[in-house]
Structure 1
């Protein structure tokens, strides 16, 4: 979720060098970075492990880049240690306000204070503003002029005229955010029967890979599974940029699609868009959810279902999801 904000900052302040310190796997998300952005992959399991490692990291960053300010966009123990270093060395800093108390009120079992919270995107902007960087939302895509089809040539051939490409990412980190696979398979079956339609399935390894490969085998002519293939963010984002719509849970895939201006139909269960984690410039009309008094019960979907039946997800008719996808496609 940081990419659009950071790229916007770089565009607004071209004479300022911005340095993003993030874990190696996330560093590859910064596709086609602005010239004044440096992305540093930080291995917190080796050289920068533990408190002494984070202290070493700040020393390395200070020597290598002569940093003048520190903006904490994460607000976790590691970044708090980085903040202590900055205070001890006279380096100005600001920190994101995650609104944790507001989110607790939004997700408590009784007496929920149900209203839209400040989006995480806006919280990032506010952290920059407190450091003196005031700018607007200028980011559009990591492929602003379009992604060359050769970037995903080892995944599929270019789209044929009149074809509709639909990306589907049916999994998330926690059960409270996953539309039941049995119901999702009905969505896949329905869409795969349409002429001129191709489906691309996104997921991880293990059981996700097994389920998605099974679906692809059932529809070998127009369903392709990318699960566990490790093509890399650059290739997968290039492919997404040529799709017409993505179906996603409240997961990272929603945000990946947002990096290439791809409309997302998102399915919400234990979590809720009001928590502030919707995708960059995504249309709220494309959010599919049920209206239950227990929702949201969790910010991240990691708590056991209070009812024990995940009615928030099981209660969503798969036809409603298909209809929402059709609405998006027909508007493009």
Structure 2
């Protein structure tokens, strides 16, 4: 019976990959509202799943109680008490495979994601590159549930924006009420090959700010905080939120944006969670690999047409040409105009706020 189904969903990291699971799980719940989901991921990512009905979150602590093989055994023993009926491994790394195997041994049906490593290698190799759009990661996620006996179709479309309430007490750096278009900017990424050069990014930011729009800079590290603060000091319409607010408040702020400008990074996927359109900038990686944000259009992906792209799946491979042409040759005016065009084509939004 559907009401007795309880699926363990595993996706430990990275932030963007975990965020991509949330809209897929929302669509799953619309098709199977009586099925329970237990999301196993790092505690930091819990806010991604707060508004999904019939989903409970179980924190994974790899540096504490779930460290090492014995920690995974302890995790399995605790999860088994949850009366899991199936396991959807959306990560397919060593840790997730161990947890899945333990459930499989005890008679629980399991399925894991096919990451498509072979075709991704064909897409990123230097010689005889096969440049073709591969299956979206969100579709790969959905296929795991199909293997478990829960097929459903993905709409892969942004729905109506629902701005969450912002209060001056929680967001003292914001001037209320909203009188400008709000642009989120997520200019950083884990790997440098996915980052638009900072000097060029600054040119883009100042041009958008001079156009009368309010910009909010998102990031995570102390180094990124320092860079964002320097940009903030250069224009009154630029505000850094790096390390100023927690993730759940970041999502509230993102829900009030009109557009997000992001690298191939978590910022794109956080915006998708809140139905915000994204202008994405791609360097060593490529939308064809499958990591384009949920509901986003490849028409809004800014990228250079080079024979060497993509050269990496995750952006962790240094430029073998040595000139980083994929980003250095990408004109600031192209990025600026793509954002401005997206703003002009978008519907007028209202801010969810209280005084």
Following the alignment from structure 2 to structure 1, what is the Cα–Cα distance between the partners of residues 201 and 314? 21
Q: 1:134 aligns to what? A: 151
Q: 2:270 aligns to what? A: 256
**What's the CA shift for 1:104?**
0.8
1:53 to 62, 71, 77: 71
Following the alignment from structure 1 to structure 2, what is the Cα–Cα distance between the partners of residues 320 and 107? 25
Give ranges in structure 2 of 5+ residues lacking alignment: 1-19, 347-355
Q: 1:30 aligns to what? A: 49
Q: 2:241 aligns to what? A: 226
Alignment of 1:172-187 (within 5 A): 172-187=189-204
In structure 2, do the counterparts of structure 1 residues 120 and 216 end up closer, same or farther at CA, with 3 Å as the change threshold? same
In structure 2, do the counterparts of structure 1 residues 290 and 41 end up closer, same or farther at CA, with 3 Å as the change threshold? same
Alignment check: 8 A CA contact 1:8 1:139 kept? no
Q: 2:133 aligns to what? A: 116
Q: Secondary structure, in 3 states, of the residue corresponding to 1:269?
A: coil
Q: 1:237 aligns to what? A: 251
Following the alignment from structure 1 to structure 2, what is the Cα–Cα distance between the partners of residues 211 and 286? 26
Following the alignment from structure 1 to structure 2, what is the Cα–Cα distance between the partners of residues 155 and 8? 35
**What's the CA shift for 1:141?**
7.4
In structure 2, do the counterparts of structure 1 residues 97 and 271 end up closer, same or farther at CA, with 3 Å as the change threshold? same
Following the alignment from structure 2 to structure 1, what is the Cα–Cα distance between the partners of residues 68 and 237? 48
Following the alignment from structure 1 to structure 2, what is the Cα–Cα distance between the partners of residues 255 and 193? 27
1:213 to 229, 241, 246: 229
Alignment check: 8 A CA contact 1:167 1:201 kept? yes
Q: Secondary structure, in 3 states, of the residue corresponding to 1:306?
A: coil
In structure 2, do the counterparts of structure 1 residues 20 and 130 end up closer, same or farther at CA, with 3 Å as the change threshold? same
Following the alignment from structure 1 to structure 2, what is the Cα–Cα distance between the partners of residues 190 and 128? 45
Q: 2:4 aligns to what? A: none
Alignment check: 8 A CA contact 1:7 1:139 kept? no
Alignment check: 8 A CA contact 1:240 1:260 kept? yes
1:201 to 217, 226, 233: 217
1:39 to 57, 62, 74: 57
Alignment check: 8 A CA contact 2:48 2:273 kept? no
Alignment of 1:243-322 (within 5 A): 243-322=257-336
Give ranges in structure 1 of 5+ residues lacking alignment: none
Q: For the aligned residues, what is the CA RMSD? A: 1.8
TM-score (norm 2): 0.88
In structure 2, do the counterparts of structure 1 residues 285 and 144 end up closer, same or farther at CA, with 3 Å as the change threshold? closer
In structure 2, do the counterparts of structure 1 residues 31 and 131 end up closer, same or farther at CA, with 3 Å as the change threshold? same
